[in-house]
């Protein structure tokens, strides 16, 4: 089944995102290589593809997992979650928030390439 994973970042987390990005992208590439990734990407804090120092408000992943428990375990192990949770716990705040929902795809988009 497909699952929508939406994570919310904490303010000022761009440096942590940048450090965790290579490991995060490697995990997404593994899902892509297995044919289990529909789409993934960051949510810019402003209306721009490259928000520069404004950073991001979170990330969205739509991927296929065998169960909601497997999707949650995958999301919880993401390097972004670990990096942001360390920042939040240091500041005395709760962990980064993950939303996880099952998704039934009525229409699946055809693969597109950017020109």
The count of structural domains within the chain is: 1
Q: Is residue 57 a part of any domain in this protein?
A: no
The residue segments making up the domain with residue 35 are 7-50+65-103
Q: Is residue 56 a part of any domain in this protein?
A: no
- CATH code, domain carrying 16: 3.30.70.1060
List, for residues 89-114, the tens digit of each pLDDT value.
Answer: 555 555 556 777 888 777 666 665 55
Q: Is residue 74 a part of any domain in this protein?
A: yes
Q: Is residue 58 a part of any domain in this protein?
A: no
Q: Is residue 27 a part of any domain in this protein?
A: yes
Q: Is residue 2 a part of any domain in this protein?
A: no
Query: Which has the closest alpha carbon to 9: 72, 57, 69?
Result: 57
Predicted model pTM: 0.79
Sign of the four-CA dihedral 84, 55, 9, 71: negative
């Amino acid at each position: 089944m497909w699952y929508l994973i939406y994570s919310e970042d904490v303010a000022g987390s761009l440096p942590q995102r940048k450090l965790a990005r290579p490991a995060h992208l490697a995990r997404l590439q593994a899902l892509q290589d297995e044919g289990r990734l529909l789409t993934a990407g960051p949510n810019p804090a402003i209306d721009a593809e490259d928000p520069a120092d404004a950073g991001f408000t979170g990330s969205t992943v739509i991927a296929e997992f065998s169960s909601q428990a497997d999707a949650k375990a995958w999301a919880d192990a993401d390097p972004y979650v670990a990096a942001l949770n360390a920042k939040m716990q240091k500041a005395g705040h709760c962990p980064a928030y993950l939303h996880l929902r099952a998704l039934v795809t009525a229409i699946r988009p055809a693969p597109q390439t950017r020109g």
